[in-house]
Structure 1
Amino acid sequence: MIIDRDCALFGTSPGLPDEAFASDGLITKRAVRASALAHLRPLPGQLLWDVGVGAGSVAIEWCRGAVGAQAIGLERRADRAARALENAERLAPGGAFSLVLGEAHDLLPQLPAPDAVFVGGGATMALLADAMAALRPAGRVVVHGITLEAELLCAEAHARWGGHLSRLQIETLEPLGSLQGWKPARTVTQWALTAD
């Protein structure tokens, strides 16, 4: 596995190769991750909450994106939490990433206020309301969803708080028999907001 804690190999720009992360297949893919990070805008010394951290790809790239940027990953599954910690050990600057295991609604009140929040799965309106209430001034939020329910939640969040609502469709070139063809990935609904 690749080791690049000091960002000497890949640099600090978002969009590390998906293969750099150990995952169970559920990972925010490279192009979609880069879009999320463009909205989250890692800044020096700022804190990200990554809710449903999974492989840790967004949180790790946040930590790489600015000097002193830190991320707290929240994950309810022990296997994914262990994988995120392993990925951070190889790819995040030392001490920049920490992880809390458990249910997000129980954990959020115990955490320091974030400058940005990313929710890659499992979002609810109650969770988003808690995240919005905890955000520091000029905080940023990005929510991704691939299910109809998540898309409806993003639309409801957009109606309630404003921001930007997008659908991201990425296709990659892959072999199709002896030829080449475009293979679409699942469409991702993205709600992004910068708070006042």
Structure 2
Amino acid sequence: MAQKAAKSLASRNTFILRRNHLVTVALHLLFLLFQILFVRPRSWVLYLTFCLPAIAIEVYLDVIGRPEYSHDGFLRRPGQDLDAEGLTDYMWDVVYWTWINILLVLIFGNNAWWLYLVVPAYTIYLAATTVGGLKAMFSPPKDDEGATTAASESKRQQKLGKRAQQRMTYQNQY
């Protein structure tokens, strides 16, 4: 029963990595097979441009998620959780979108590579909404005319503000 959570994380990571590597290899072999068999060749430059980042991400996820075992067969490190939210989740989105894009290129031709631009557009959208949310979070509330409302301040904050104004007027008199 020792390290039950670590062992289950290690087995889940191993399953996820094995499944994703098999799908990636199958899709790339399918693409290469279509590349060789059909007369109208696909663009190698676009293929490498759009697939290399996903392959690099998959290698990175393999490095951080692969469990390590000692020579005795005991679990040393289960690896990081590959189902984690945040950046890891976004990396999986890039890998999955690359898979979808490879299939679309096989069906519709080279022009489907340009659908890959959805990924940077989505990133820009997420960044813009995050920055907008941060601005709204740190800006003081405003009333209809754009001035900050005194009612949103506590009584203690209002008293401290009045004292600061009085100190400024006293300093300006001398």
User: Is the shorter-chain TM-score for this pair beyond 0.5, marking a shared fold?
Assistant: no
TM-score class normalised by the smaller sequence:
under 0.3
Greater helix fraction, Structure 1 or Structure 2: 2
